[in-house]
Structure 1
């Protein structure tokens, strides 16, 4: 995760977020991915972004109640109005000896579109693209 910087979002998985098997519901994880990705995308579109697609969502390991979930998000591509973000989700939990372990549990690529207050597509400013290396 060192290439991803600091997490954009950290949250504790709670009992209310479980599925019928007792693990954390995948939809809850998708919601966290979407929020973290939007935080990253808003660095290039400060007014507003909307999600247009989630690709390559891979649930690698289950998430359990009490896990601390960190969502790392990095902008990987910028178009005229679109922003593609790679999101990696890491769970922190304790091993059998009480030591913290970190497990990459989910990854996804999310695309957002920059919009104005009325929801119309809004071009991403060139100075913001340059500032972020695009």
Structure 2
């Protein structure tokens, strides 16, 4: 299957799909808008998936460097979280998380938010450890 010119010009998520979920009523206000805190916690989980893979073990969030909400998330939205490791230090990594809503027909995606999360690799005692080399 090849993409049409129009499909190729549409914005696409950066990174890999790390988490996907459906926004549920328990996470919304009375108007059906999902709480920002719920969305941030899901973004943190998605970034954690990427961080654990890169660290080959435990990693923990140390900062959210930037956060931008572009559109509201509604109850029932299928929400996809894409992660892209932006930079790596001795023990830390900055992970961009983009959040997109996906139509039921999987024909259209809308970017909802993005944030930059910093994680550090930790050992079993909770102390910072060096990231393993890339293979």
Same fold at TM > 0.5: yes
Map 1:70-85 → 2, pairs under 5 A:
70-85=80-95
Distance 1:100 1:8 in 2: 20
RMSD: 1.7
TM-score, normalised with respect to structure 2? 0.84
Residues 2, 91 of structure 1: CA spacing in aligned structure 2 closer, same or farther, 3 A cutoff?
A: closer
Residues 32, 99 of structure 1: CA spacing in aligned structure 2 closer, same or farther, 3 A cutoff?
A: closer
Residues 39, 57 of structure 1: CA spacing in aligned structure 2 closer, same or farther, 3 A cutoff?
A: same
Question: How many residues align structurally?
Answer: 124
Is 1:45 matched up with 2:45?
no
Q: CA deviation at 1:43?
A: 1.8
Residues 32, 2 of structure 1: CA spacing in aligned structure 2 closer, same or farther, 3 A cutoff?
A: closer
User: Structure 1: which 5+ runs fail to align?
Assistant: none
In structure 1, the partner of 2:131 is: 124
Structure 1 window deviating more from structure 2 (98-107 vs 77-86): it is: 98-107
Residues 118, 71 of structure 1: CA spacing in aligned structure 2 closer, same or farther, 3 A cutoff?
A: same
In structure 2, the partner of 1:88 is: 98
Moved over 4 A (4+): none
In structure 2, the partner of 1:55 is: 65
